[in-house]
Structure 1
Amino acid sequence: MDPSRQKALEALLLWEKGGSLDLIFQRVVEKEEGLSRKQKAFARELVFGTARWLKRLDWTIERLSQRDPRSLNPVVRNALRIGLYQLCMLDRVPEWAAVNETVELVKTFGKKEASGFVNALLRNFCRKKGQLQIDTDDPVKRATVLWSFKEWLVKRWFRQFGETEAEKLFEALNKVPPFTIRVNTLKVTRERLLSELETYGALPTRFSPVGIVLLYPQGVLESKWFTEGLFQVQDEGAQLVGFLFSPKPGERILDLCAAPGGKTTHFAQMMQNQGEIIAVDVSAERIKFLEENCKRLGIKIVKPLRHDLRTPLPFEPEGFDRVFLDAPCSGLGVIRRNPDLKWRSTPREILRLSNLQMRLLLEASRHVKPGGFLMYSTCTLTPEENQGVVEAFLEREKDFKVIDLKGVFGLESDFFTPEGYFLSLPHLHGTDGFFAALMQKR
């Protein structure tokens, strides 16, 4: 019995009961000392791939069995998903291996009586693979199955982007994201690190001057380059947000919802470790990660503070040159990395978050000096959480004005909305989806 598949099934069973897929995977797989690096990588492919294509896999089970997958025993249902994912999406796994290992999986998990059903369904799929067609003329229902998204989200993005553009977005969000790092320019240049990481398939990023993509990243987080603080893992889109915020050496910065510190540490680099950054977060565990990252990267100007932003901050108003709010959001721009967000997000949650975001932005704005800057940023693509929040804020707070970001960093025009907001899109830029608006206090 392959332990990779066994651990993958264990993780998916726990995920069905609720919780973050990433945290469950860390606990069940990454911390399992009995698995090799290669086995953990295969388990990750199975777990996150199955979550990514869940709707399509369940549609396939229903077509082949004439049974609602929800009526199946959880072990059988999730084992079938894992088996079908290998048969549908992983050309490198032989059909016989995918079928036989899945049959053994249900036996190992105490469902021997279902092994014949599992074997028959998977072999039936192998015979009919090219014949299964999504037989509907409704473009929404077709896209829901083809790209494996909830129907409400397909409808929303069809309206927002148009059908052709939305399909490109769905396709991009279903791809495994690149492994991107940010060079710690306090310790090393990008040119030197590109040379030293050559065996990891290091390539410069397209837009960020401090970004590197690693084509073969396995083992790099155990390398001396990581432990010595020469880089931080960070998506290129997040790096661009940091450049647009543009903190200067010697400034006093307030960074809200800061942990685990990807953007915080980038700000410190840009400030050349000169000035002060108060990094606020509600989570003690995430603040611990922030502190560890600062120590590893050699950053000395960050002062962490645990605080719930739904209550007033313990500072005098108008005390910071720049304030950055990395607002909690639906996360629909980072589905590539967190495919379980497809199934957790709801329209009601987006409304709840937009109300919370407005509340946090109002608190953030109290601490900006006259002439200072306020940046609001999310990793989602919903107008209600992005420009909707900013425009409602500007309507209420007349002493702030929008700064057109098109001229701040020299990025291509398709990164920006007509209002001058930043919006990175996976299908256009190859980054995660980020939104940012920069405002100045009069």
Structure 2
Amino acid sequence: MRLHRNLVFAVIDGLIEIFNEGSYADKVISKQLKRDKRWGSRDRSFVAETTYDIVRWKRLYAEIADVSEPIDRKDLWRMFAVWCTLKGIKLPDWPQFEETPTRRIKGRFDELSKTRKLRESIPDWLDELGEKELGDKWDVELASLNKQAPVVLRTNKLKTDLDTLKAALVEEGHETENLKAYPDALQLQERGNVFATEAFKNGLFEVQDASSQMVAPYLDVEPGMRVIDACAGAGGKTLHLAAQMDNKGQLIALDIYANKLKELKRRARRAGAHNIETRTIDSTKVIKKLHNSADRLLIDAPCTGLGVLSRNPDAKWKLQPDFVAKIQETQQELLVDYSKMVKPGGKMVYATCSILPSENQEQVKKFLKTDEGREFKIEKQKTILSSESGYDGFYMCLMVKKDKA
């Protein structure tokens, strides 16, 4: 591979923003990809994948390059040289790469790879937390979460079917494969910009990980029901629910962030999802008005996001120990407060994209001991590990509210 100066500078500039300015990697990369209109798909792919790679292996590369926080531009060039060396890419004759110790880099890699927290490039506290909660499973799970996430699409059944979508994508240059365990899913055989396709613009699909596609079906919705998505965000699972309801019934999307619900509305128009009503949670009245009214409730709770590190590797460096405790308090509050919207005989799914039992099974156990929780019983629950599925880590629990009759 021959390195192009303008592409490498785009990577270095992006990493400065991510590491030193607290910017989110996906937002930075999206901006960087618009930097030069002359770039082709390979150029954009190099910028995106190289940036994510160095973010993912930040600690390991920094240790090998012998740099420490705060990481300046010179340090980043040293880390980039490490990335090149480990990838077997010949360093060009640029000033930034003068006197790069190639042999030492390989030796340091072999040495440091013997220690898990360095080999898997993760903060000490997070490695300790994962081992405490997952035990022997942590090793293989962490390794799986450090792999590049596949690109999976969800067929929008309101507008098309799986085979028709597959054929349409082939015409636009994107080969996909079916996933047997996921009836609406297609996985890209090669990464590409599917957002530029007519199929996407016409609302025939959404990009949604295979594990995430399991949540909406878990809620067991039917057309004509009143369904509430209590933490809807930009609406990935809301749109899936709308399709499962065949646009019939009432689907109420709630969130504390109005801007996210605005994005949901835009996506719903493209998807042809007409039964969605958005409501911003700007006071306790919003929830109280819906008490005992929902046939189905989805609480896709905010969490540490440890199950989706493969697609959000910068989360490793943004998470802090105190956040884990705070988010668990929030999760319990949501379970207690939002569960009141379920009517007797109705069902509720509590879901997270975390793999920590303390955010999942333990939260449900705690909830069932509260006054509100005593009205519910578990129908089924499922933990999805990335190491076993090949996709994101998730947890979901279906609970039924006891019928007072």
- Could you say whether these structures have the same fold, taking a TM-score greater than 0.5 normalized by the shorter chain as the test? yes
Aligned pair in 2 of structure 1 residues 206, 155: CA closer, same or farther (>3 Å)? farther
What amino acid sits opposite 2:7 in the alignment? S
Tell me what 2:147 maps to.
175
Residue 364 (structure 2) pairs with residue 390 (structure 1): yes
Which of 96, 99, 120 matches 1:147? 120
Matches within 5 A, 1:21-100: 21-30=25-34, 33=37, 35-62=39-66, 68-70=67-69, 74-88=72-86, 90-91=87-88, 94-97=89-92, 100=93
Matches within 5 A, 1:355-366: 355-366=329-340
State the alpha-carbon separation in 2 of the partners of residues 7 and 310 from structure 1.
Answer: 46
- For the 8 Å contact 2:377–2:401, the answer to whether it is kept is no
Query: Shift in Å at residue 281 of structure 1?
Result: 1.7
Which of 206, 216, 221 matches 2:195? 221
State the alpha-carbon separation in 1 of the partners of residues 108 and 246 from structure 2.
Answer: 58
Cα distance per residue 1:131-175 (max 9 Å; x no partner): 335558xx9x80011111112222222233334x32211221111
SS in 1 for 2:356: coil
Matches within 5 A, 1:268-417: 268-308=242-282, 313=287, 315-396=289-370, 397-405=372-380
- For the 8 Å contact 1:402–1:437, the answer to whether it is kept is no
Query: Shift in Å at residue 5 of structure 1?
Result: 1.6
State the alpha-carbon separation in 2 of the partners of residues 315 and 87 from structure 1.
Answer: 60
State the alpha-carbon separation in 2 of the partners of residues 427 and 383 from structure 1.
Answer: 16
Query: Shift in Å at residue 6 of structure 1?
Result: 1.4
- For the 8 Å contact 1:268–1:302, the answer to whether it is kept is yes
- Identical aligned residues as a percent: 27
- For the 8 Å contact 2:82–2:105, the answer to whether it is kept is no
What amino acid sits opposite 1:303 in the alignment? E
Query: Shift in Å at residue 268 of structure 1?
Result: 0.5
- For the 8 Å contact 1:183–1:189, the answer to whether it is kept is yes
Tell me what 2:134 maps to.
161
Which of 391, 395, 398 matches 1:438? 398
- For the 8 Å contact 2:382–2:397, the answer to whether it is kept is yes
Tell me what 1:109 maps to.
none
Greater shift, 211-220 or 432-441, is seen at: 211-220
Aligned pair in 2 of structure 1 residues 277, 31: CA closer, same or farther (>3 Å)? farther
Tell me what 1:201 maps to.
175
Q: Which runs of 5+ in 2 are unaligned?
A: none
Tell me what 1:246 maps to.
220
State the alpha-carbon separation in 2 of the partners of residues 30 and 233 from structure 1.
Answer: 20
SS in 2 for 1:328: coil
Greater shift, 278-287 or 256-265, is seen at: 278-287
- For the 8 Å contact 1:13–1:75, the answer to whether it is kept is yes
State the alpha-carbon separation in 1 of the partners of residues 284 and 62 from structure 2.
Answer: 40
Matches within 5 A, 1:111-150: 115=96, 118-120=97-99, 122=100, 124-125=101-102, 127-132=103-108, 135=111, 142-150=115-123
State the alpha-carbon separation in 2 of the partners of residues 32 and 283 from structure 1.
Answer: 33
What amino acid sits opposite 2:31 in the alignment? R
SS in 2 for 1:389: helix
Tell me what 2:386 maps to.
426
Query: Shift in Å at residue 197 of structure 1?
Result: 2.5
- For the 8 Å contact 1:134–1:145, the answer to whether it is kept is no
What amino acid sits opposite 2:6 in the alignment? P
State the alpha-carbon separation in 1 of the partners of residues 283 and 299 from structure 2.
Answer: 10
- For the 8 Å contact 1:273–1:299, the answer to whether it is kept is yes
Aligned pair in 2 of structure 1 residues 87, 286: CA closer, same or farther (>3 Å)? farther
Q: Which runs of 5+ in 1 are unaligned?
A: 63-67, 105-114, 406-420
Which of 7, 12, 21 matches 2:10? 7
Cα distance per residue 1:71-130 (max 9 Å; x no partner): 76x111122222322322x34xx3134xx4xx45xxxxxxxxxx4xx421x3x12x3454
What amino acid sits opposite 2:124 in the alignment? E
Alignment TM-score, normalising by the size of structure 1: 0.84
Query: Shift in Å at residue 27 of structure 1?
Result: 3.0
- For the 8 Å contact 1:134–1:142, the answer to whether it is kept is no
State the alpha-carbon separation in 1 of the partners of residues 202 and 293 from structure 2.
Answer: 34
What amino acid sits opposite 1:372 in the alignment? G
State the alpha-carbon separation in 2 of the partners of residues 308 and 263 from structure 1.
Answer: 22
Calculate the aligned-residue CA RMSD, in Å. Answer: 2.2
Query: Shift in Å at residue 431 of structure 1?
Result: 1.2
- For the 8 Å contact 2:379–2:400, the answer to whether it is kept is no
- For the 8 Å contact 1:147–1:170, the answer to whether it is kept is yes
What amino acid sits opposite 1:70 in the alignment? E
Alignment TM-score, normalising by the size of structure 2: 0.91
Query: Shift in Å at residue 311 of structure 1?
Result: 7.2
- For the 8 Å contact 2:64–2:109, the answer to whether it is kept is no
Query: Shift in Å at residue 374 of structure 1?
Result: 1.3
Greater shift, 13-22 or 250-259, is seen at: 13-22
Q: How many residue pairs were aligned?
A: 395
Query: Shift in Å at residue 34 of structure 1?
Result: 5.5
Query: Shift in Å at residue 210 of structure 1?
Result: 0.6
Query: Shift in Å at residue 22 of structure 1?
Result: 1.7
Determine which structure has greater relative contact order: mean sequence separation of CA pairs < 8 Å that are 6+ residues apart, divided by chain length.
2
